[in-house]
């Protein structure tokens, strides 16, 4: 099927072959501004020097954890736009999401921004999904600037998905710690910085895991499915990238990705890492590592973006992984459907 469209740069033709899930952008957008804000536990972790703002506690002056999360997301988007040297009214669309029911933190955060808004729910894959869709909008000629925002809050997510933190329920070693934080990113048709060149849209993968504590093992097959499809679609072998990053599989999920790729005949141990393994120190007792929308969000907008700007990284593949269960599906004994989306980000 051939799809034709117009951009400001002229007429382009996109050839989409049957069975392919990847998009090669004719006009790769620039990542021109990023910002992040984190809670105190993240601020004591491995990447503390790469965060723009570290809060003293997880609630601030706000009456609830959920309102604190809304504040963080609003702050991160505004700060990313300011770092881009833009005004909010120059942003054509905002694409954003969080983990909570009806995207409540995101919706309240968007009230004061006054821009066209598309809410996204990809669980922890939301950053990659937002970058992918934002790039599609810009490459298609439907705007000049797009802002992408994600947030998560440990206490708010625990209360919704597991147990109130006041109960002090013991967490199993396979579980992960939801990141308290938010991240904002600005994509632009013009400017300077790394560019999003290719994106691969994931499929739902569900191998029947029902334990909501085992998100890493549940999501790992989806990450492998998307990575393998990306390789088949683009012809890019893993060595093409300086690094391949998944979003929040944690230590257990990371090992499974390596194992499953080895079964396909590819060894990615030399240039593969998981954002969920990069945030906390071992002594912080986060079990298998980090999770949440903000896991890949704060790693990308902080550490990875600066490495791309400095030339320490030239080409990365960022894969956001999402566990798409809900409290209702868990109570109804459903298994956990998972997804992964990938974006290739390359420095000029």
Q: For a pLDDT cut of 90, what percent of the chain falls above it?
A: 79
The tokens for 348 are 């000029």
Q: What is the pLDDT of residue 51?
A: 98
Residue 19 scores a pLDDT above 80: no
All residues at 6 or more sequence positions from 113 whose CB lies less than 8 Å from its CB, including other chains: 74, 77, 78, 88, 94
Phi, psi of 199 (to 5 degrees): -135, 145
The tokens for 105 are 């933190």
Mean pLDDT of 319-347: 93
pTM: 0.92
- For the stretch 40-81, pLDDT in tens is 999 999 999 999 999 999 998 999 999 999 999 999 999 999
Q: How many beta carbons lie within 10 A of that of residue 244, not counting itself?
A: 25
Q: What is the pLDDT of residue 173?
A: 63
**Do the strands 117-119 and 145-152 form a parallel or antiparallel pair, or are they unpaired?**
unpaired
- For the stretch 198-228, pLDDT in tens is 999 999 999 999 988 888 999 999 999 999 9
CA distance 302 to 46: 12
- For the stretch 223-275, pLDDT in tens is 999 999 999 999 999 999 999 999 999 999 999 999 999 999 999 999 999 99
Average pLDDT, the chain: 91
- For the stretch 84-129, pLDDT in tens is 999 999 999 999 999 999 999 999 999 999 999 999 999 999 999 9
290 and 96 in contact (C-beta within 8 Å)?
no
The tokens for 262 are 């080895």
* Length of the chain as a residue count: 348
- Identify the band that residue 9 occupies on the pLDDT scale cut at 50, 70 and 90: very low
- Identify the band that residue 325 occupies on the pLDDT scale cut at 50, 70 and 90: confident
Q: What is the pLDDT of residue 166?
A: 65
More confident residue, 281 or 167: 281
Q: What is the pLDDT of residue 168?
A: 65
Q: What is the pLDDT of residue 206?
A: 96
Quickly tell me which residue has 């990141």 as its tokens.
179
The tokens for 346 are 């390359």
315 and 196 in contact (C-beta within 8 Å)?
no
Mean pLDDT of 183-188: 98
More confident residue, 222 or 331: 222
């Amino acid at each position: 099927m051939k799809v034709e469209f117009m951009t400001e740069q002229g007429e382009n033709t996109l050839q989409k072959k049957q069975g392919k899930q990847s998009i090669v952008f004719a006009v790769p957008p620039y990542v021109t501004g990023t910002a992040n804000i984190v809670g105190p536990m993240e601020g004591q972790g491995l990447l503390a020097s790469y965060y723009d703002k570290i809060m003293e506690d997880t609630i601030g002056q706000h009456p609830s954890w959920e309102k604190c999360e809304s504040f963080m997301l609003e702050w991160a988007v505004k700060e990313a736009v300011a770092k881009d040297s833009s005004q909010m009214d120059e942003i054509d669309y905002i694409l954003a999401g969080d983990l909570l029911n009806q995207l409540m933190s995101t919706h309240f955060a968007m009230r004061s921004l006054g821009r066209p808004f598309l809410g996204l729910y990809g669980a922890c894959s939301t950053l990659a999904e937002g970058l992918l869709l934002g790039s599609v909008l810009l490459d298609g000629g439907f705007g000049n600037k797009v802002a992408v925002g994600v947030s998560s809050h440990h206490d708010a997510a625990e209360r919704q998905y597991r147990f109130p933190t006041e109960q002090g329920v013991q967490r199993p070693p396979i579980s992960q710690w939801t990141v308290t934080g938010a991240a904002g990113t600005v994509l632009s048709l013009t400017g300077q910085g790394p560019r999003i060149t290719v994106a691969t849209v994931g499929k739902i993968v569900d191998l029947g895991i029902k334990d909501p504590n085992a998100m890493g093992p549940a999501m790992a097959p989806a990450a492998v499915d998307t990575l393998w499809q990306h390789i088949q679609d683009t012809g890019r072998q893993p060595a093409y990238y300086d690094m391949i990053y998944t979003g929040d599989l944690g230590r257990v999920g990371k090992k499974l990705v390596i194992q499953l790729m080895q079964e396909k005949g590819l060894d990615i141990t030399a240039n593969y890492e998981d954002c969920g393994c990069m945030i906390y120190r071992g002594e912080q007792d986060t079990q298998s590592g980090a999770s949440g929308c903000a896991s890949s969000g704060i790693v990308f907008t902080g550490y990875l973006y600066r490495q791309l700007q400095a030339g320490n990284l030239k080409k990365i593949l960022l894969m956001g992984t999402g566990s798409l269960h809900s409290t209702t599906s868990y109570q109804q004994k459903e298994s956990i459907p998972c997804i992964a989306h990938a974006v290739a980000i390359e420095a000029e």
